[in-house]
Amino acid sequence: MLTKLFPNLDVQDFWMATYETFYMTLLALAGTFIIGILLGLLLYLTAKDGIWQNKFINMIVAAIVNIFRAIPFIILILLLFPFTDFLIGTIRGPNAALPALIIGAAPFYGRLVEIALKEVDKGVVEAAKAMGAKTKTIIFRVLLPESMPALISGITVTAISLIGYTAMAGVIGAGGLGDYAYFYGFQRREFDVVFVCTVFIVVIVFIFQFIGDYISNRLDKR
Amino acid sequence: MISIEGLSKIFTSNKRQITAVDDLTLEIKEGDIFGVIGYSGAGKSTFVRLLNRLEEPSFGRIVIDEQEITSLNSNQLRLARQEIGMIFQHFNLLWSRTVKDNIAFPLEIAGVPKAERDKRVRELIDLVGLTERENAYPSQLSGGQKQRVGIARALANNPKVLLCDEATSALDPETTNSILDLLVDINQKLGLTIILITHEMHVIRKICKQVAVMENGRIVEQGDVLDVFLRPKQQVTKKFVEQVMGTNDEDEGVNHLINTYDRGKLIRLHFIGETTNQALISEVAKKYEIDINILQGKITQTQAGAYGTLFVQIDGEAGEIDNAIDFITKTSVEVEVIRDAN
Ligand SMILES: Nc1ncnc2c1ncn2[C@@H]1O[C@H](COP(=O)(O)OP(=O)(O)O)[C@@H](O)[C@H]1O
Ligand SMILES: [Mg+2]
């Protein structure tokens, strides 16, 4: 059916590309989630009147976050080539895209995490302190659970950016739907391929958005 | 039980220094319900937060149950805090947890095993009257129910002291009363010492035995609730007493009474506690050949009994009137004759 409508589409390559897009997005998302939460917590806890109030560390982390957020993603990939080569052993394929994807998305998500944590009621944190909670308990049993809906909607927004990033990474050979659309569709002037890839990317975005909204709503008991 | 010496807290904000609590010295007895009243900004919240070191004291010493709070390191302080319950104006419950799990939280912090935790949570839910609401989320509860969860949570680890910062200020009058009743109930059942911060005198009147009046970070007046009601010395205290008793427009009223009721004696009765005298008027009326006519008065109930004044006209034979007055004088009610028999 797909082959009839879109004569130039190689179904097997196309599914492979879709799989790679999912692969890159999900792995990068996992990495972004963890690193973003770490960055966000660090920003929140070292801020003024925070539990680990520390002007110096706060400034350093904020600077790193701001710098990496300011670099356009396509340039970030190029910039990270040596690092990626060292880490993964290659600069091609989905795995090679992961460091750039995570480093590109984590600072952005870190800011969203910081905002989410700031929204947690100060009174609740104080109540936990008054009960004699350790900082670890405050982080894992108060701050993160209480901000979870916002953390999930934040990661949803980030996931959608990440899907965009995977497509960009594709253009320089990372694999996935972007790669497929560019090398097989655009460069060979086979625009039906570009079209199908676009549709699938949009569908993937919708799927992520739907799942994210669903989880976030389910968790929100306010 | 709680002994506070020279406690001060100085905040520095924008290079300005604010002395929120100023050289405060205080003793609170075990099992007491100790009220601290003052207007907004008087330093009440800061004071109560100093007691569990949510604010670090600038100077001074706090001893709770023979443990010097001010000299504990942060680990010891955490353990000490598990034995000091606290409830808040805005309840401060975790919205992501059910009633049951909110109450279990301090038990988790204290490392109580799961089975024991469940048992204790069930007891507490019964104690505060939230049976069948244990699986609700805070957002599904009324303000009064939320505060009940707050109280249950504060009591989970069997604290010796309960700190209440404006615990009823966000509640309507009826709910306030039910929460105050619960606090008295807990105080009597568990022998818990309660320190209660408020800006509302009727809260003090209803449940406190001792009261301290705060102004500008200092305690300006302190004592038995009845004494403070009866003989407020400071201007602030008089204002607070008026919150409950109304303004003192008595003098004008007295002249009016003297002119209107020209027979017999007019006397003013001061009720200052002791519930045994509640049937005083009927007792006197039965015992002596006199008529008692109640003219005007304000009586309010405190933890230590009735407090207030009552103007009555006593008419009858002069000797019998004097006997009646003698009888009243022997009770705890003070008698003041404002006009002798004509
Ligand atoms: N963290 C703080 N930093 C600076 N000033 C504070 C802080 N907390 C309280 N204050 C000041 O201390 C005074 C007493 O405040 P507070 O204890 O909240 O009074 P109350 O509870 O009686 O209304 C106020 O003047 C307030 O502005
Ligand atoms: Mg206050």
Q: What CATH number does the domain containing A105 carry?
A: 1.10.3720.10
The pLDDT, as a whole number, for residue A204 is 93
Q: How confident is the model at residue B153 (pLDDT cuts 50, 70, 90)?
A: very high
Q: Dump pLDDT digits (tens) for A155-176.
A: 999 999 999 999 998 888 888 9
Q: Does A166 map to a domain?
A: yes
Biggest CA pair distance of chain B: 78
Residue A183 has pLDDT above 70, yes or no: yes
A142 shares contact with chain B (CB less than 8 Å)? yes
Percent of chain A exceeding pLDDT 70 equals 99
Per the structure block, which two tokens stand in for B151? 């109280």
Between A42 and B337, the more confident residue is A42
Protein residue with its CA nearest to atom 18 in ligand 1? B45
> Contact B100/B121 with Cβ under 8 angstroms?
yes
Q: Dump pLDDT digits (tens) for A185-222.
A: 888 888 888 899 999 999 999 999 999 999 999 999 88
Q: Dump pLDDT digits (tens) for B121-138.
A: 999 999 999 998 999 999
- DSSP reduced 3-state for B162: strand
- DSSP reduced 3-state for B289: coil
* CA–CA dist A17, A165 (Å, integer): 15
Put simply, the answer to whether B54 touches A146 (Cβ < 8 Å) is no
* CA–CA dist B88, A126 (Å, integer): 10
Put simply, the answer to whether B109 touches A131 (Cβ < 8 Å) is yes
Residue A110 has pLDDT above 70, yes or no: yes
Q: Containing H/E element for B311?
A: strand B305-316
The pLDDT, as a whole number, for residue B248 is 58
Nearest CA among B70, B62, B71 for reference residue B3: B62
The pLDDT, as a whole number, for residue B263 is 81
- DSSP reduced 3-state for B113: coil
**Tally of domains in chain A:** 1
Ligand 1 pocket residue status of B40, Cβ below 6 Å: yes
- Nearest-Cα residue of chain A relative to residue B137: A221
Mean pLDDT of A49-63: 95
Residues of chain B with CATH 3.40.50.300: 2-242
Residues 6+ apart with CB under 8 A from B148: B128, B129, B130, B179, B182
B44 shares contact with chain A (CB less than 8 Å)? no
Residue A21 has pLDDT above 60, yes or no: yes
Q: How confident is the model at residue B255 (pLDDT cuts 50, 70, 90)?
A: confident
The pLDDT, as a whole number, for residue B277 is 54
Phi, psi of B223 (to 5 degrees): 160, -165
Other beta carbons less than 10 A from residue B319's beta carbon: 10
Q: Return the bridge partners of B86, or none.
A: B163
Eight-class DSSP state of B82: T
Task: Give B89 to chain A, closest Cα distance, Å.
Answer: 10
Residues of chain B with CATH 3.30.70.260: 247-340
> Contact A113/A154 with Cβ under 8 angstroms?
yes
Q: Does A138 map to a domain?
A: yes
Q: Report helix angle A94-118 to A55-70, nearest 10.
A: 130
The pLDDT, as a whole number, for residue B113 is 97
How close are the terminal C-alpha atoms of chain B, in Å?
Answer: 56
The pLDDT, as a whole number, for residue A199 is 93
Q: Does A4 map to a domain?
A: no
Put simply, the answer to whether A137 touches B109 (Cβ < 8 Å) is yes
Nearest CA among B158, B240, B211 for reference residue B33: B211
- DSSP reduced 3-state for A152: helix
> Contact B147/B168 with Cβ under 8 angstroms?
yes
Q: How confident is the model at residue B181 (pLDDT cuts 50, 70, 90)?
A: very high
Cα radius of gyration rounded to whole Å, chain A: 20
The pLDDT, as a whole number, for residue B295 is 84
The pLDDT, as a whole number, for residue A89 is 87
The one-letter code for the residue type at B61 is R
Phi, psi of B220 (to 5 degrees): -95, -15
Q: Which fold has domain B2-242?
A: Rossmann fold (3.40.50)
Range of the domain at A24: 9-219
Domain B247-340 = CATH 3.40.50.300: no
Cα radius of gyration rounded to whole Å, chain B: 24
Nearest CA among A151, A163, A135 for reference residue A17: A163
Q: Dump pLDDT digits (tens) for B29-59.
A: 999 999 999 999 999 999 999 999 999 999 9
Between A5 and A26, the more confident residue is A26
Other beta carbons less than 10 A from residue B79's beta carbon: 12
A35 shares contact with chain B (CB less than 8 Å)? no
Residue A80 has pLDDT above 60, yes or no: yes
Q: Does A1 map to a domain?
A: no
Residue A2 has pLDDT above 70, yes or no: no
The pLDDT, as a whole number, for residue B293 is 87
CB burial of B249-272 (b: ≥16 within 10 Å; e: otherwise) equals eeeeebeebeeebeebbbbbbebb
Averaged confidence pLDDT in chain B:
89
B97 shares contact with chain A (CB less than 8 Å)? yes
Q: Does A53 map to a domain?
A: yes
Helices (H), chain B: 44-51, 74-81, 99-109, 114-127, 143-155, 173-190, 201-207, 225-230, 235-245, 250-260, 280-287, 318-330
Poorest-pLDDT segment among A116-130, A198-212, B73-87, B293-307: B293-307
Q: Dump pLDDT digits (tens) for B283-309.
A: 888 888 888 888 888 887 777 777 788
